Structure 1
Amino acid sequence: MILFGTNPIAWSNDDDQTIGAHLSLDDCLSDCRKIGFDGIEKGHKMPNDGAELKAKLGEYGLKFVGGWHSTNLLTNDVETELAAMQGFIDMLKAAGSKTLIAAECSNTIHGSEGIGILDRPEMKGDEWARFTKGLTTLAEEAARQGIELCYHHHMGTVIQTEGEIDRLMAETGKAVNLLLDTGHCYFGGGDPAALAARHMGRVRHIHCKNVRAEVMEKVISENMSFLDGVRGGVFTVPGDSEGAVDFPPVLSEAARAGYQGWLVIEAEQDSLIRDPLRYQSMGYTALKQMAASAGLS
């Protein structure tokens, strides 16, 4: 079955915590209940204890979708990374989720002020082999414990472009699943539908993020930081007429592949400028309609 989720970064941002500082966790969760979401991903205002998190979300009739786990495979040994991941796995299990969203953050710039988006890191030489081998090891251990590691390609990181995503899929074992993020794919110069057509067999999680192309082009042409792009409104929700991402072809590829699981509206905006209740309601309504038309139910 298809479940519809969201991410609290639409209310309170994790990378720039001044965005949404005026909103409480209860503000966020009450909005989610009003809109009708089935669940929500992890945010910095939520309890870090899994049992407490499950109970808190349960007060609002929400499931825990899963959460972001930063890997540091290019700087740490695999044993260190396995130990770091174990604590996160324990939290996921206690909170009732099996989705671990992984992204390599040893040298990421997506949370850095003053570093342009064009100056992001790229792997060279034997770094690729080190990374893909280590990620496969982590994913296999997670799978052994009933957890799906879903890799999140992301602006400002070593896995950003379509070519890098393709290589990641080619050089990792089958235990490494893909989180398909429509917005990060588009922002990185890719075609989300083409990416879905090639890799939907290994996609276990989908972020439905929209992009304002005019803002994106400004961020790239002026080599602004990722955070400046977020503050400038580069991202928005499905159904927003200002957005450029074409969702129906992606959802049709998902339906053809028999995708089951979460469709998550992960669209960070400045919540003082763009009201989360309004925008997330817009995204939820549009996404449900598009998913139904594509045959996802």
Structure 2
Amino acid sequence: MSDEAIDNPGLRIGTAPDSWGVWHADDPVQVPWERFLDEVVEAGYEWIELGPYGYLPTDPHRLEDELGKRGLKLSAGTVFTGFHKGEEQWQRAWDQALAVAGLASKLGAEHLVVIPDLWRSDVTGENLEPRTLTDEQWTKLAAGHDRLGKALLEEFGMKQQFHSHADSHVGTTREVLRFLDETDPRYTNLCLDTGHFAYYGGDNVKLIEDRPERIGYLHLKQVDPTLLFDVLKNDTSFVDAVADGIMIEPPNGIPELGPVIEAVAKIDPDIFAIVEQDMYGCDVDRPFPIAKRTREHIFGCTHLARIS
């Protein structure tokens, strides 16, 4: 635990390109990366995630300069995996890790957020594979993540934080608990995304209290509980649900962020809490005021939050 965390036991609150509608490395509808960095500072944050690899500069010296002149720091990068599909998925995952962890670790980031492949496309909304895994696929999934987590620690000194996700095979409470039961806490823990966990009815605070040793990282997000029932009833794809506004500006959704932050701060105040609000496809002028209001809301609903 850092000296700063001892003096201020609140979690470090950051943000990410996702809160600016960024899902892809290069997409003309997205906010340009320079504007994203400038608005992050203006909104009052110091910590950010890398976002999709290639959105921010990939040269470590240039990225260090761009962040440094704005007083920004990097908490994590992100990769995507499909270990349940078979052994051939290892090389795909490791190639991403070499690029993303290689860059992020040079800028001091100690976490790699790992998102599993979705069974339904986040581009077209079409079904790609069955919604549930066989026992054999669960075994492959767990083994692949433990192998990746071990390699990340040994090669980069980085910790793997697994991100359960809507339209993925690990989303419900039972699925998340099974994933934790079948993986090794030395190598695989959770990036608990509060919105995605609530998407399938998960109780974030209960999970934190029941499995405190497995919470390694937080994504702060709220889901619209009224719209959610329509999404689930009508089997709406996640990409279409996002377009409809399923992830909503706090404090208008669930879960309440204050109790989540306070529950995690009891575990370890060095855990990051990164604000996200899935808004892909939004107008470029929309994210900034939401990001600013969200930070103000978080600091108004709990004393266990800090900027740096």
SS in 2 for 1:236: coil
Q: Does 1:102 align with 2:114?
A: yes
SS in 1 for 2:291: helix
Partner of 2:18: 9
The answer on whether the counterparts of 1:40 and 1:64 sit within 8 Å (CA) in structure 2 is: yes
Partner letter of residue 182 of structure 2? E
Give unmatched runs, 5+ long, in structure 2.
Answer: 6-10
Partner of 1:27: 35
The answer on whether the counterparts of 1:101 and 1:150 sit within 8 Å (CA) in structure 2 is: yes
> Deviation per CA, 1:251-286, whole angstroms, max 9, x where unpaired?
222122233231111112253298212111111111
Partner of 1:214: 226
Partner of 1:268: 278
The 5 A counterparts of 1:29-48 are: 29-44=37-52, 45-48=55-58
Question: Using a 3 Å threshold, how does the CA distance of structure 1 residues 157 and 222 change in structure 2: closer, same or farther?
Answer: same
Shift of 1:221: 1.6
Q: Does 1:247 align with 2:257?
A: yes
Partner letter of residue 10 of structure 1? S
What is the TM-score when the length of structure 2 is the normalising length?
0.85
Identity of aligned residues (%): 21
The 5 A counterparts of 1:106-255 are: 107-115=118-126, 121-144=131-154, 145-174=156-185, 175-239=187-251, 242-255=252-265
The answer on whether the counterparts of 1:54 and 1:64 sit within 8 Å (CA) in structure 2 is: no
Partner letter of residue 157 of structure 1? S
The answer on whether the counterparts of 2:30 and 2:284 sit within 8 Å (CA) in structure 1 is: no
Give unmatched runs, 5+ long, in structure 1.
Answer: none
| Matches of 1:245 and 1:211, distance apart in 2 | 7
> Deviation per CA, 1:106-140, whole angstroms, max 9, x where unpaired?
x54251423379x8622112111111112111111
| Matches of 1:222 and 1:116, distance apart in 2 | 15
**Which range moves more in the overlay, 21-30 or 163-172?**
21-30
**In structure 1, which of residues 71, 82, 91 is the aligned counterpart of residue 81 of structure 2?**
71
Partner letter of residue 110 of structure 2? K
**Which range moves more in the overlay, 82-91 or 66-75?**
82-91
Partner of 2:61: 51
Shift of 1:290: 2.9
The answer on whether the counterparts of 1:152 and 1:181 sit within 8 Å (CA) in structure 2 is: yes
SS in 1 for 2:260: helix
| Matches of 1:290 and 1:120, distance apart in 2 | 41
Partner letter of residue 121 of structure 1? R
The answer on whether the counterparts of 2:13 and 2:305 sit within 8 Å (CA) in structure 1 is: no
Shift of 1:223: 1.3
* C-alpha RMSD of matched pairs (Å): 2.5
Partner letter of residue 209 of structure 1? K
The answer on whether the counterparts of 1:102 and 1:152 sit within 8 Å (CA) in structure 2 is: yes
| Matches of 1:272 and 1:4, distance apart in 2 | 25
| Matches of 1:51 and 1:102, distance apart in 2 | 25
| Matches of 1:280 and 1:110, distance apart in 2 | 27
What is the TM-score when the length of structure 1 is the normalising length?
0.88
| Matches of 2:31 and 2:44, distance apart in 1 | 19
> Deviation per CA, 1:60-115, whole angstroms, max 9, x where unpaired?
2111121210112123427524454233321121232111001221x542514233
| Matches of 2:164 and 2:178, distance apart in 1 | 12
The answer on whether the counterparts of 2:12 and 2:271 sit within 8 Å (CA) in structure 1 is: yes
